Structure 1
């Protein structure tokens, strides 16, 4: 049984902070303890799938506690529907190799059993396995706590539990403590929007760089540019530098302050323009939108989505290696594909660029993802 949830549409580029700033929010590195109702309603990022936003806070790892209301079991995982009183979300809890081992531990030679009459290691091992099964196999009505990343699968939100266990809570002490702690987290953290310090000197610079990067990205997409050099797109950023230089004298007003003269006597417009272009190109490289196939004095940038040779190279790797026995079942892992593409095509391909290529190929029905990180050819 799957919980029917209508997932909201992804956020627009303007509604979410740039990905280069996500790490500044401490919630991004923590397991967010949100109500399940909010987990089902928060919007997904348009920059990186699997990242969600609550009040502009980037979230991808969550911590849920609730009552099991439905259960499915497969060979590799349990799927529990968890209800915290505000909603129900599916938690995929994977079985590890030791859990799937059936039968009792192998019988040791009698001599070893007699060597230490006070300790039966095999019996203790059996008890540990039984305890592990009890705490990882829950029934309807029991309390489950699960931690892990959240994703959208088939228009439904799911928690891919990296850690999960049954909570022994006969007097509901754990759940009461949880219900007292979560509202406090909302007041102190989640309900306060993520903002940079207003007096930060890097704030205006970061905003201008991201606007410049977006201008370049829109131009490359509109004109279907496959490769370019920095001087080809330098003029596109000229309005940003002109607007900044015109704003400076107005900001200072009619006062003749030595500090104002120092500002005016700073870097020239040409220097500012070249620095802005350099920083915005670095942002596009960090996002995987562009890359340099060969790092040389000739700064030639390739547009990732428009590079047909790169798309063909990735398809060839997946097509050839998916036939190997090692990758026949799940397909090729994204890190294996990355290593192969770096060896065969260019050592400068980043993981972000490869993931962008894989999403493009998947949208074109050239490849298909069998798991979150495995890909095989679409047959």
Structure 2
């Protein structure tokens, strides 16, 4: 398989993939305040596939959570600079003074409640800043910046930690090895559907041949999914058991499917030789269409095979609805779920039952919405459901 990201080596024998900026949100590390050793923080390099983050392994990092001793204090007009040492290194933390004041101000008795609360917060921040000295323990959360070619932390939260027995530091040093092993040192891997899309983009760039990546959601293309749905249900659906397995490649042997799938390829591929669309484009159209049907609950992924699906006929849909109702009636009797079961919990329970081992979350949500329309279930929140009776 061709690699479609630039590579980054972080250790001997390690070769990881950088990820484009538009997919950073799929990494839980990017969304959180990352607890790294300071020696790793100060050695971070800019992430090469977009601005605003630094790279640890191939994880995009832009916010950190640190705990350490103050080894340097510098007061400036708008901020305090603290050098924070956790035993592995020292990083500069910029803790900003409240805007518009360099010292606490008296409360104006005629001010509104909001102004009163704001003043109290600003006063507390100034007290926190002015009370911290060399040797104190400080907890800081903030965004990473590069200033004069060094990494520093612009604090959004900071507080002095009163901990004479050093329990907080001991707990942090016990916590970090587990975080590194189970999260940070594990490579950031994109979901398979996103990785497939990027692979197609890479092949298009290398070959110079346009690959159709049209949007299935466009109204002018909706008929493609509709016609494919009709064909799958009429030709592949087996009324005797409610579903029939099929592979994506099998659809290429069906003339009607190929005729449907090649239409948008020919439209977007103006220089098609002999009026025929490249097979790679057609395969991409078929895959996008089936993925759309999977999200809508019309087909389900079947078994452990990557590209095997089954068509949901009326009997299978009815069986799904009855199974979900059975799960809700049983689980909502438990104190933990007395206020309703989350639809992802229902999906997990279905994954243990045949033939729903690979049913998608979207298909489960659609089934629950269908049951609610039939007054079989009630939604207690947007994501939680209980049986009507």
TM-score after normalising by structure 1: 0.49
The structure that has the greater radius of gyration is 2
TM-score after normalising by structure 2: 0.48
RCO greater where, 1 or 2, for CA within 8 Å and sep 6 or more? 1
